[in-house]
């Protein structure tokens, strides 16, 4: 395994980027860090709420015990997200969906910034903070339409209590999401893992499935993770700085600029 010094993308990755038809991208909180979303294991102020660590306030047990408190926590998080915008990493990934024959975007993030950047058919492993789900009939609603005058918002269809449509600790992933991601991982040629500490399963098994099926595995992260040793290439740095360069056109001299190797492409991306 070769570790790529900051700023240098290997010829091999260029070639594989150039030739790939099916690509899978797995993202985590780090892809949204440059938009101002705190990461979970990078510290920051959102890991403790009213004295409770986020693993407690964001747990299935808390949902049973105190649904209004869970809503307060997720309303606080939505409030923090409201003003935030996608960054160049989200935008590069959104552009790639029109470049590769098949691009599967699998995210652990619930912030909706991929969709805001224009990404379609995002496979959300952990749900989405901008949606609510009925505890009785399962109907989903847009969280922006909810009324909180009696603490817990009610379902527009059946009047049942709504909960945030996110996966809480101790809960199963949404039906089909992981299975679909695993199928895509088994058939992709290139798998990019961007901004995840790769410690939370089953999401962290997606790149392992892709690698075992023969995909070229690339990690983009300013820090090493438990996945780094399994990767064919590790790009050490921030996603918002590295991803946009993976798709740059060759410079005029036909060579490569000093810092970043570029990719020759038939069509602009
Ligand atoms: N670009 C790329 N990676 C970054 C950047 C950046 N600008 N900034 C930080 N990172 C990396 C960190 O080095 C870290 O490895 O992003 C990773 C964020 O890790 P976590 O905070 O653990 O987030 P994530 O891997 O998405 O967590 C997985 O855990 O808490 C649950 O449900 C939650 O979806 C979340 C899951």
The ligand 1 atom at the shortest distance from the C-alpha of residue 42 is: 21
| 223 within ligand 1 shell (Cβ under 6 A) | yes
Q: Say what the pTM is.
A: 0.90
Atom 17 in ligand 1: residue holding the nearest Cα: 196
Tens digit of pLDDT for each residue in 97-128?
Answer: 999 999 999 999 999 999 999 999 999 999 99
Atom 3 in ligand 1: residue holding the nearest Cα: 195
| 59 within ligand 1 shell (Cβ under 6 A) | no
Atom 9 in ligand 1: residue holding the nearest Cα: 30
Which residues of the chain are modeled with pLDDT < 50? 1-4, 43-45, 249-269
Please say whether the beta carbons of 261 and 14 come within 8 A.
yes
CA neighbor of 105 nearest in space, from 232, 236, 195, 235: 195
Tens digit of pLDDT for each residue in 120-172?
Answer: 999 999 999 999 999 999 999 999 999 887 779 999 999 999 999 999 989 99
Token pair of 226 as six digits: 């438990």
pLDDT in the model for residue 255: 45
Ligand 1 centre distance from Cα of residue 264 (Å): 31
Please say whether the beta carbons of 54 and 105 come within 8 A.
no
């Amino acid at each position: 395994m070769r570790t790529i010094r900051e700023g240098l993308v290997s010829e091999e990755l260029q070639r594989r980027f150039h030739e790939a038809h099916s690509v899978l991208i797995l993202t985590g909180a780090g892809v949204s860090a440059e938009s101002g979303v705190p990461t979970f294991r990078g510290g920051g102020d959102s890991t403790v709420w009213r004295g409770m660590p986020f693993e407690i306030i964001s747990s299935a047990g808390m949902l049973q015990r105190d649904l209004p408190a869970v809503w307060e926590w997720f309303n606080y998080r939505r409030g923090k997200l409201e003003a935030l915008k996608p960054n160049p990493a989200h935008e590069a990934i959104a552009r790639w969906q029109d470049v590769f024959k098949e691009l599967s975007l699998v995210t652990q993030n619930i912030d909706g910034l991929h969709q805001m950047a224009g990404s379609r058919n995002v496979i959300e492993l952990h749900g989405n903070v901008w949606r609510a789900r009925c505890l009785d009939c399962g109907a989903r609603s847009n969280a922006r339409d909810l009324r909180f005058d009696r603490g817990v918002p009610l379902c527009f269809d059946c009047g049942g209590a709504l909960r945030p449509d996110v996966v809480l600790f101790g809960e199963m992933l949404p039906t089909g999401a992981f299975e679909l991601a695993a199928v895509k991982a088994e058939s992709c040629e290139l798998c990019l893992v961007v901004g995840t500490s790769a410690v939370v399963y089953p999401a962290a098994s997606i790149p392992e499935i892709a690698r075992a099926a023969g995909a070229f595995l690339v990690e983009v992260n300013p820090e090493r993770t438990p996945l780094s040793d399994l990767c064919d290439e590790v790009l050490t740095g921030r996603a918002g700085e590295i991803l946009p360069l993976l798709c740059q056109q060759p410079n005029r001299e036909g060579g490569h600029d000093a810092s970043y190797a570029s990719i020759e492409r038939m069509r602009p991306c």
